[in-house]
Amino acid sequence: MGFALGGAAQIIAGILEFVGKNTFGGTAFTAYGFFWWSLIFIWCNPTNGAVQAADKVSMGFYLLLWGIFTLFMFVGTLKHNRATQVVFLSLAILFFGLALGDFTGIAAITTVSGVIGIFCGASAIYSAMGQVVNNEFGRNVWPLG
C-alpha cells in the first residue's frame, strides 16, 4: 500500500501537477510519495542486513525534518481552502509528535500521534472527496472552507 498508493500514485500525481504548472501540488505529491518509498526502505531494510536498521534517534531526526518540511508546506496552504490547511497542519503536528515519541521513547506520545494521524488521514480523505465532487458538479457542493 505504501509503495503503490502512498508512493507511486503520489509521485505520478506530482509529476502531472508539475506539468500543469502547479508547483505546490507537484512538490507536495512527489515529496510525500518519495517519503513513503523512503519509509518502506527504512522499515523493510531491503539490503538483507548489509545496512543496520534505523534506531529511534535516527528516526526522530528523519520525522523531525519531514515535520519542518510539512510546516513550510502548511504556510503554502494559507492560499488554499481550510480543508487543505487542516490536512497539512495536522500532518505537521503528526510528524513532530512521532519525532518527539522517538526522541523520548514515551509510548503515549507515539500513541497520541497515531490518533492525530488518523484525524489527518480522515481530513485528507474528506478534502480529496470534496475536490472530486466539487469538480464533477462544477460548483461547491462539498464544503471545503
Confidence (pLDDT) at 38: 92
Spans of the chain below 50 pLDDT: none
Question: What is d(CA 68, CA 13) in angstroms, rounded to the nearest whole number?
Answer: 23
8 and 67 inside one domain: no
38 and 102 inside one domain: no
> C-alpha grid cell for residue 96?
513532530
* DSSP three-state, residue 122: helix
Question: What is d(CA 75, CA 81) in angstroms, rounded to the nearest whole number?
Answer: 12
123 and 60 inside one domain: yes
The last residue of a domain, from among 53, 68, 93? 53
Confidence (pLDDT) at 49: 65
60 and 101 inside one domain: yes
What global pTM score does this model have? 0.92
87 and 123 inside one domain: yes
67 and 78 inside one domain: yes
Nearest CA among 74, 78, 38, 73 for reference residue 58: 38
Confidence (pLDDT) at 2: 84
| Number of domains composing the chain | 2
- 34 lies in which domain range? 1-53
Confidence (pLDDT) at 32: 97
10 and 59 inside one domain: no
Confidence (pLDDT) at 47: 66
Confidence (pLDDT) at 140: 95
